[in-house]
Amino acid sequence: MPALEHVHNIKLLTIRDVVGGMPPPQIYTGRLNRRIPPQLFITVLLLINFLVPLGLPPVVLEKLVRIWMFGRLSCHAHYILAATSRMVTPWGIAFLHAFVLKLIRKDEIESEQFIMLIHTIRCLNSRGSQPSTETLKFGLEFCVPLLLCIFLHIRIWFIVKASRRSEISRNLLYTLLIHYLCNVLYYAPAAAGDRLLSLMPDDVDLQQLLPFLTPTIIWYPLSQLSAAISRYNLDKIEEDGPRSRTIGRGTETERSHLMCTKVDI
């Protein structure tokens, strides 16, 4: 049959490319087919979840400066997109379940099938081959800053007053945990990393994906830390205010007394 011969030829080409040292090609089948509705709903959900994070930077800026800085039109567009996401996503997931169930229960699927062979590459940050280089990177980028943060965090805990200590220390700790937990896999030993990745699907590369989670959530503890530091400075100014005014009055009284003495003489 022609279809079987086509697939057979593709399999032979795949084996020949792999043996010849070329990157293994990918077999791509027609996913986005109008006769398979689940693929349509998956596309819609992926598109929405691609567009919604684009509104995160202005939201972060609004939380920091307490004002929307991009005009009324962009504000309306932002909230329309957020409302669309809240409304479409749950219904899209519900319809996705329904059509997947319908697809599974079908005995026969009517759709055009085609197979296309393409060569692909993977964009990965490979580790260095020298153990000394890896050890130096682990020390300078991970171990030394972590130990320094722990030492300074302990000092801050004992120096800062109890009224502001928990808020400042808590947000500092959140910032520390978010960064190091999202980047620890890059510095993990190869054996431990391979053991953890073996529990995950082949397409999930946590070492590459987790660092992108850091900027998504680290802005919140940083903004809370900024507010806590501002309140702490304000409290210190208010505490030092009466003492400064008292010293100022004493200096002014002493100066007037000296001037009067000179005039009398």
Task: Answer whether residue 80 shows pLDDT above 70.
Answer: yes
What pLDDT sits at residue 107?
A: 65
pLDDT at residue 177 greater than cutoff 90: yes
Q: Taking residues 39-61, report their average pLDDT.
A: 83
Q: What is the DSSP string of 50-115?
A: HHGGGGHHHHHHHHHHSS--SHHHHHHHHHHHHHHHHHHHHHHHHHHHHHHHHHHH-S-------E
pLDDT interval class at 258 (50, 70, 90): very low
Cα distances from 39 to residues 29, 42, 212, in angstroms, run: 12, 5, 26
Distance from C-alpha of 125 to C-alpha of 110, rounded to nearest angstrom: 42
The fraction of the chain above a pLDDT of 90, given in percent, is 6
Per the model's pLDDT, the better-predicted residue between 255 and 179 turns out to be 179
Confidence class for position 100, pLDDT limits 50, 70, 90: confident
- Report d(CA 5, CA 170) in Å as an integer: 64
Cβ atoms within 10 A of the Cβ of 182, count? 20
Categorize the per-residue pLDDT at 122 as very low, low, confident or very high, splitting at 50, 70 and 90.
low
Lowest-pLDDT choice from 74-88, 133-147, 197-211: 197-211
Greater confidence, 8 or 79? 79
* Whether the Cβ atoms of residue 204 and residue 173 lie closer than 8 Å to each other: no
The per-residue DSSP string of 133-174 comes to: HHHHHHIIIIIHHHHHHHHHHHHHHHHS-HHHHHHHHHHHHH
Q: What is the pLDDT of residues 192-248, one digit of tens each?
A: 556 666 666 666 667 777 888 888 889 889 888 888 888 888 877 877 766 555 555
> Residue type for 45, please?
L
Higher pLDDT, 248 or 91: 91
**Amino acid letter, 223:** S
Q: 3-class DSSP state for residue 176?
A: helix
pLDDT of the residue at 95:
83
The tokens of 192 are what?
A: 């431990």
Residue range 43-60: mean pLDDT, rounded: 83
With a cut of 70, say whether residue 90 has pLDDT above it: yes
pLDDT of residue 137: 82
pLDDT-derived band of residue 148, with 50, 70 and 90 as boundaries?
Answer: very high
Give phi and psi for 68, each to the nearest 5: -85, 125
Range in 49-53, 181-185, 197-201 with the lowest mean pLDDT: 197-201
